[in-house]
Chains A and B, each alone.
Chain A
Amino acid sequence: MWWVVTVVAVVVLNATYLTWLAARVDRLHARASAAASALDAHLVRRAVAAAALGEAIQVPTLALAARIALDARPEDRGAAENDLTRQLRTVVADPEAPVFAELVAVSRRVALTRQVHDDVVRDALAVRRRVPVRALGLARRHPRPGYFDVDDPSLEGAPRVPVAE
């Protein structure tokens, strides 16, 4: 009699755990995909703003870099975005240039979104490595998320921070 109760209890506990784990896998992947869309949107915003600026201040290399970033295939995207960051830094660093406050703000959002994206991806990849997730293929429905590997896109220096007591 007792072994029936024990078996039922073990089955119920296992089922509960696996349901919870599957929900966790789904949640992390949903978040990774939402973060990837957000990152894509902010990168497009940045490239559009850079293209407009490149034409307005007559810097063809900037406008070109922005077009290339907008048209890049996924596998070339990182390199294209890095090139755009370099072009933007050159323009912004020019002491004669006006203050491109909006572009700095857009770039900050790109940097922030990329950081959030990579953190979420790291959590999703960690959960994919867990034994029950691999054994039962709990992540099979989700494409494997990947880090967005680019140089720091922010245009301002590291924020000045006083050391707290």
Chain B
Amino acid sequence: MRVGLVCPYSFDVPGGVQLHVRDLAEALIRLGHEVSVLAPADDDEALPPYAVSAGRAVPVPYNGSVARLAFGPLSAARVRRWLGTGDFDVLHVHEPFTPSLSMLAVLSARGPVVATFHTAMTRSRAMAAAQGVLQLVSEKITGRIAVSELARKVQVEHLGGSAWQIPNGVDVARYATAVPLPGWPGEDGSIGFLGRFTEPRKGFRVLLDAYRRLAERRPATRLLVAGPGDQDEVRGGVPALVADRITFLGKVSETDKARMLRSVDIYVAPNTHGESFGMILTEAMAAGTPVVASDMDAFRRVTENGRAGALFPTGDAHALAATLARLLDAPDERTVLAARGREVAAGYDWAVLAERVLEVYATAIEATAGVVLDELPGGTW
């Protein structure tokens, strides 16, 4: 079928929603569907072949961070032209309740519209003021998808709609076939961590403490850290001998992230609290790397209660060190964990999730008479 995807944020800037749209588009294309993605972009040439630029995006402060959005009469005209020439069977927009291309597309569309909600945004004063507009946007959406339980709850409790839950996917093949970084994982064991290591809730302190204990008895085991942050601060806090065996990669690209996950014997998610990075575990699992994670709800769910990954009491560096020491000496157990991890990751593969998304498309088309377009008649599917 012909699918029109709208991404509200600029493709030039990396971000969760952009990656989601790109991965979904590519998965749908692999399944034999025709896909066109409309997104703001400064540079047309940087876009993948299936994407169409809606023009320059303007940085707008939103929800505590800066979003790059395209919104205005010029963008509206481009959206209409894209809809007019696209002849889509279904229009799939992302984050339609932010003033963006997605909202413009929903307002210009007639016919099957599916929307995906990513963030767990709470009802703001601006949203309450724009209630009338939001109702019009909401009315035109037939199928609603939420990527997390939190995003679904917001739909149900604040916006009065329900939503079908389909999680963020993982491009399993990309992780499974990534080439490890030169010299890794090595013979003497290596441990990996990815994330903003200076942010307390990421729990890097716990891992560092555990690693220090571990390093006393295993002088050759290395630690590979990827993510933005001040490395000197970390190096200064541990003995020089330990600091020398920590490798910092800094902020990594998507490709290097996959390579990094393939480069270690064990991936550790030591998060202490908060809405945590559950995705990274599925990515490590897709890379075939056994994972060790703190015993929190999100990680419990992904590791299927510790079946597909080892859990340790949250914040307990001692227990983490013991778990790591045990696993580093037990290659067979690591193989078992990695195999179960791959099974779990397979359930999050985009190829599988794209089929679920197609079911929502089909349902939205059935429940709507007509085409995704302002005036042009003659929808097919």
What residues of chain A have their CB less than 8 Å away from a CB belonging to chain B?
A: 24, 28, 30-31, 34-35, 37-38, 41, 108-109, 112-113, 115-120, 122-123, 126-127, 158-165
Contact = CB atoms under 8 A, between A and B. Distances in A.
Given A162-B302, A163-B276, A164-B16, A31 B164 contact: no
Contact of B139 (A28, A38, A161, A163): A28
B165 interface: yes
B46 to A, nearest CB: 25
Contacts of B304: 160
Interface of B: 16, 118, 135, 138-139, 142-144, 147-151, 160-162, 164-168, 275-279, 281-282, 297-298, 301-302, 304, 347-348, 359-360, 363-364, 366-369
Contacts, number: 99
Contacts of B149: 161, 163
B302 A112 contact: no
Contact of A109 (B118, B150, B161, B359): B359
A35 B366 contact: yes
Nearest to A118: B162
B275 A120 contact: no
B282 A162 contact: yes
A165 B279 contact: yes
A117 B367 CA distance: 7
Contact of A165 (B135, B162, B275): B275
Contacts of A165: 16, 275-277, 279
A162 B147 CA distance: 9
- Please give me the 8 A-B residue pairs with the lowest Cβ-Cβ distance, nearest first: A162-B278, A35-B367, A38-B366, A163-B298, A161-B167, A163-B278, A162-B302, A165-B277
A161 B165 CA distance: 8
A162 B167 contact: yes
Nearest to A161: B167
Nearest to A109: B359
Residue of B138, B142, B281, B367 ringed by the most chain A CB atoms within 10 A: B367
A73 B304 CA distance: 43
Contacts of A163: 148-150, 275-276, 278, 297-298
Contact of A116 (B143, B279, B282, B298): B143
B282 A38 contact: no
Nearest to B283: A162
A147 to B, nearest CB: 12
Contacts of A158: 165
Contact of A119 (B118, B144, B277, B359): B144
B296 to A, nearest CB: 9
A112 B164 contact: yes
Nearest to A126: B135
Contacts of B298: 162-163
Contacts of B368: 31, 34
Residue of A38, A112, A120, A165 ringed by the most chain B CB atoms within 10 A: A165
A159 B166 contact: yes
A109 B363 contact: yes
Contacts of B301: 160-162
16 contacts: A24-B139, A38-B367, A41-B366, A109-B359, A116-B143, A117-B367, A120-B142, A161-B147, A162-B278, A162-B282, A162-B298, A162-B302, A163-B150, A163-B278, A165-B275, A165-B277
A34 B165 contact: no
A160 B369 contact: no
Given A31-B369, A160-B347, A162-B298, 14 more contacts: A31-B367, A38-B363, A41-B366, A109-B359, A112-B360, A116-B142, A119-B162, A122-B160, A159-B165, A160-B302, A161-B301, A162-B148, A162-B168, A162-B302
